Amino acid sequence: MISVRHLTKSFGATKAVDDLSFTAKTGEVLGLLGPNGAGKTTTMRLITGFLFPDEGEVTVGTVPMFTRTTEAQRMIGYLPEGNPLYKEMLVCDFLKFAASVFQLGEAERVKALDFVVESVGIGDVYTRPIGTLSKGYRQRVGIAAALVHNPKVLILDEPTEGLDPNQRTDLRSMIKKLAEGRTILVSTHVMQEAQASCDRILIINRGKLVADGSPHELSRAAQGKRVLIVECEGKDCEKQMKKIEGLEDVVFDPSRGNRVRCTLTSTVDVDLRPAVSDLAHENKWTIWHLAEQERRLEDVFQSLTS
């Protein structure tokens, strides 16, 4: 749904976005991660047509952003960083204003307002002044305004910034639900947020793309190996484990009763779990624990952006 190709943008001597390319498909929640100043907000402003690049292209669906800007922008809903709202307005009046910006007719507007109020859960505050709302509800109102024209692409810049843990959880659930049938791009510098809500993560540093993959893939790739932790009980566990094809290394922990705990290491492209499962079945072992050991996403982020 979104295609970004060789995007570059400089401000004076500072290159904020440097030859950035990626794609995002319908139904995907894509996280854009990076330290402060990495180029996340500039990238989002370029994708939405608020800024024009020095080089590169953005396509929304089949529409090129920089030659058919208004047409492409109609397909995008955008919540910018800081969520600019008119705090003296009632929520209902603000959303009617947002609908008028997209030139929705009366019948369209009624349907659109019903849709966003239900989608983001703001029915209880619909007639209240925005300035009296909690930060969590204000974020919901901002997302409602971005959704009012039912866009195919939703771009959210730091949507959970400043929210408490309960509000973050609620907003993550809402984003997952909104991803049904549309593409969502979310920027954050909080690893837990990306891991909890994103199907795929892009990490950028100094305007460059330094990693692209699911949280699991990024963790495994940064580790350089696949590490499997197995705790089993049965005959000849240690002897049989050493025979597994593709095994690079195995370390056995001191036995705990009749159980054996071992750490199996292989290359990134070799999955040892099927072999362990087959051995357990053949030898009638009891498997008490079997899980891949992953490097923490925070560690991956630090190693790529330090």
Give tens-digit pLDDT for 58-100.
Answer: 999 999 999 999 999 999 999 998 898 999 999 999 999 999 9
Residue indicated by tokens 């993560």: 201
CATH class of 225-294: alpha beta
- Residue 148 and residue 106 in contact, taking contact as beta carbons nearer than 8 Å: no
| Segments of the chain assigned to CATH 3.30.70.260 | 225-294
Which two structure tokens, joined as six digits, stand for 135?
A: 């930060």
Residue 110, pLDDT above cutoff 80: yes
295 band by pLDDT with thresholds 50, 70 and 90 = low
pLDDT value at position 296? Answer: 66
Quote the radius of gyration of the chain (alpha carbons, Å): 24
Mean pLDDT of 103-132: 92
pTM, to two decimals = 0.76
Do the bridges between strand 29-33 and strand 183-188 make them parallel or antiparallel, or are there none, so unpaired? parallel
Enumerate the CATH 3.40.50.300 domain ranges in the chain, comma separated.
2-220
Architecture of domain 2-220: 3-Layer(aba) Sandwich (3.40)
pLDDT beyond 70 at 184: yes
Strand partners, 19: none
- State whether residue 279 is helix, strand or coil: helix
- What DSSP element (H or E) covers 120? helix 106-120
How far is residue 228's CA from residue 233's CA, in Å, rounded to a whole number? 16
Whole-number percent of the chain with pLDDT over 70: 94
Q: How distant, in Å, are the alpha carbons of 87, 93, 102, 233 from that of 90?
A: 8, 5, 19, 64
Q: How many residues does the chain have?
A: 306
Higher pLDDT, 228 or 223: 228
Mean of the per-residue pLDDT values for the chain?
Answer: 89
Residue 272 tokens, joined:
């040892």
Q: Supply the pLDDT for residue 269.
A: 80
